Amino acid sequence: MAGPMIPKERSDYSAIVDRPPLKLPGNARIVFWTTVNYEVWDIGKPMARQLLPAPTGVPLMPDVVHWAFHEYGMRVGCWRFFELFKRLGIKPTLAANARICEEYPRVAKQALDDGWEFMGHAYEQGPIHKEADQAGMINRTMDIMQKFTGKRPVGWLGPGLTQTLETPDLLAAAGVKYIGDWVYDDEPTVIRTAKGPLVTLPYSIELNDIPMMLIQHHESDYLLKRTIDQFDRLYAESEKRAKFCALAIHPYISGQPHRIKYLEQIYDYVNKHEGVLHWNGEQILDWYQKARPKAA
Amino acid sequence: MSMHPRERLDFSPIDGRPPLNLPKGVRMVIWPVLALEEWDMARPMARMVISPPQGQPMQPDHPNWSWHEYGMRVGFWRMKKVFEQLGVNPTVTLNARVCETYPKVVEACIANNWELNAHGYDQVPMHKLEDQRAVIGKAMDIITKFSGKKPRGWFGPGLTQTFDTLDYLSEAGIEYIGDWVLDDEPVMLKTTHKPVVALPYNFEIHDIVMMALQHHPSDVMHTRALDQFDWLYEEAAERPKIMAIACHPYLSGVPHRIGHVQRTFKEVLAREGVVAWDGAQILDWYLAQQK
């Protein structure tokens, strides 16, 4: 083979209507998958996102105010998340830059103590295309997390969902079992890598507070509105086949006082429905490994 | 010698931090900030409400210059009336050059006993200044001379700063800044000179971000501010909360938005235990807490 596989070579096209339905245990019909993202924004680099570009819009470094904006999430915002999920008894997936184990051990420790799933999310926040040694960065990320939690992560999300054509091969080699970056289906799928199969879980790029709030600039309550719209349709469809509703949140966005109540109301709404499971990525993976058609 | 933000301030999670205490009967503080700027016609305008046909930036940029100018000719006076009716004294953060180009506006602030806070000489990012120390000194001198009072607080133009800015600010006598939006409480920052306090500003309840950049409808000024307030007010049962609201006359002072700004202040100040303080008052309270 000349180079790394292109996506089409990793995964054959498959129409959802042609597939036998997957079945969740018991009366469960839909999984609500919450992913919390904790990141490190290095002041030595351009900040990952900007709310208020400098006057006249020129990009400038250092960008102290956006560093501070992110830091608010770790000092204040994330504690609103911990309180909410503890109260609800939900153990989300934590997509964390491994560097949080070094820079914010207090925060990482809380997630560990609360039983959250640690998912690999690069060493720090920056597109994976810019990594000089991608394999080295992936292994380092996995090693740091394994050392901190005592368990090697099984999941991976690219920083900003980025990956190159090689990335799935490097992830599988590092021991990753599932990824969230392929937002191409409502169900988990299996893709080919040079190091064996890798599962993709149905993550969402639209139920994500970065695109909704920082890029598309929707009003605070829109997080609730769009999630309800998404959930309602998936819930209706889940009568016939298992469905997954993924939601991704960041403490410097959804942990702000003017947004947190809408996040809270999402769970109030979802939990009024019968047959909803709050599973993290690892739980979905474990179920899928048993539930999926063996021939695939 | 530049200091990394981490060297100026250790990481501290709010969870488990001993709460500060507000005076008896006060549960929450609103910090109104009114920003006055100078947009030099010889440069690109700081913000644009309308781009030229075909989207190419053009200079001189008459439409956007006049958009800002409306704020000084009309919008400011509308906002002044609203603040007077509410009995609120905002912190006025001003480009020092405003004292030269719009003295009538600054005189009106002084007559109302509003706190003047330095906001650079004109609206240019700190990164673009050849000699930051000199510009900070010049800004401080102009405002001090004009008002007879040395500013205690500072906002970087567009909240910009470099790794050295805080040291220069401290040398110039600045006691607090608003540029670090990293906490719900004031924090103390190390400098090569005296420590500087970062007050809990935020730039999401901020008319430039909400209106000029994110393009929300006018009433989101009120909706988002109330969402922010309601949550903080609940939390303020356990520890004091401070909420900044940032306004610019060319945005908040226009007829279709001012009503939303007015009812925002009116509604939050009507709640029990809510007061409006300027930056200097918040600073003095915080410093007294440190003893």
Residue spans of the domains in chain B: they are 26-48+57-289
Of A64, A75, A257, the CB nearest to B179: A64
Summarize the confidence of residues A91-119 as an average pLDDT: 97
Instruction: Please provide residue A94's backbone torsions phi and psi, each rounded to the nearest 5 degrees.
Output: -105, 105
- The domain ranges of chain A are 20-46+61-291
Residue A291 above 80 pLDDT? yes
Cβ distance of B203 and A72 shorter than 8 Å: no
Q: How many CB pairs under 8 A join A and B?
A: 132
Distance of CA B68 to CAs B45, B186, B249, Å? 9, 31, 8
The CA radius of gyration of chain B, in Å to the nearest whole number, is 19
Task: Report the pLDDT value the prediction gives residue B253, as an integer from 0 to 100.
Answer: 95
Q: Residue B241: closest CA among chain A residues belongs to which residue?
A: A257
pLDDT category of residue A296 using cuts at 50, 70 and 90: very low
* CATH 3.30.70.2740 for the A20-46+61-291 domain, yes or no: no
Query: DSSP letter at B236?
Result: T
Lowest-confidence segment of A54-68, A196-210, B4-18, B256-270 by average pLDDT: A54-68
Substitution target from A40, A42, A52 for chain B, most B beta carbons within 10 A: A52
* Residues of B whose CB is below 8 A from A113: none
Cβ distance of B158 and A43 shorter than 8 Å: no
A234 contacts: CB under 8 Å, gap ≥ 6: A30, A186, A243, A244, A245
Model pLDDT for residues A223-279, shown as the tens digit of each residue: 999 999 999 999 999 999 999 999 999 999 999 999 999 999 999 999 999 999 999
Amino acid at B55: G
Q: What count of other Cβ atoms lies within 10 Å of the Cβ of residue B252? A: 28
Which segments of chain B have a pLDDT < 70? 1, 54-55
Model pLDDT for residues B221-241, shown as the tens digit of each residue: 999 999 999 999 999 999 999
Cα distance from B61 to chain A (closest Cα, Å)? Answer: 12
Cβ distance of B215 and A71 shorter than 8 Å: no
Q: Residue A82: closest CA among chain B residues belongs to which residue?
A: B15
- Contact (CB, 8 A) for B62 and B39: no
pLDDT category of residue A196 using cuts at 50, 70 and 90: very high
Cβ distance of A220 and B224 shorter than 8 Å: yes
Of B45, B160, B183, the CB nearest to A54: B160
Substitution target from A38, A61, A72 for chain B, most B beta carbons within 10 A: A72
Given the cut 0.90, state whether the ipTM is greater than it: no
Task: Report the pLDDT value the prediction gives residue B288, as an integer from 0 to 100.
Answer: 96
Task: Report the pLDDT value the prediction gives residue A295, as an integer from 0 to 100.
Answer: 56
Task: Report the pLDDT value the prediction gives residue A68, as an integer from 0 to 100.
Answer: 96
CATH topology of domain B26-48+57-289: TIM Barrel (3.20.20)
Distance CA A221, CA A228 (A): 11
Residue A133 above 70 pLDDT? yes
Lowest-confidence segment of A23-32, A54-63, A114-123 by average pLDDT: A54-63
Residue A158, helix vs strand vs coil: coil
Q: At what angle do helices A257-270 and A222-237 cross, to 10 degrees?
A: 20
pLDDT category of residue A2 using cuts at 50, 70 and 90: low
Cβ distance of A260 and B231 shorter than 8 Å: yes
Task: Report the pLDDT value the prediction gives residue B123, as an integer from 0 to 100.
Answer: 85
If you average pLDDT over every residue of chain A, what do you get? 94
Enter the pTM of the model.
0.87
Task: Report the pLDDT value the prediction gives residue A55, as an integer from 0 to 100.
Answer: 78
- B203-222: b or e for each residue (b if 16 or more CB lie within 10 Å)? bbbbbbbbbbbbebebebbb
Of A52, A54, A258, the CB nearest to B203: A52
Task: Report the pLDDT value the prediction gives residue B148, as an integer from 0 to 100.
Answer: 97
Assess A224–B contact: CB distance below 8 Å, yes or no. no
Task: Report the pLDDT value the prediction gives residue A293, as an integer from 0 to 100.
Answer: 80
Of A61, A75, A78, the CB nearest to B12: A75
Q: What is the H or E stretch that residue A267 is in?
A: helix A257-270
Distance CA B160, CA B125 (A): 6
| β-strands B28-36, B153-154 pairing | unpaired
Summarize the confidence of residues A104-119 as an average pLDDT: 98
Substitution target from B2, B15, B222 for chain A, most A beta carbons within 10 A: B15
* Residues of A whose CB is below 8 A from B11: 71, 74-75, 103-104, 106
Of A56, A79, A262, the CB nearest to B44: A56
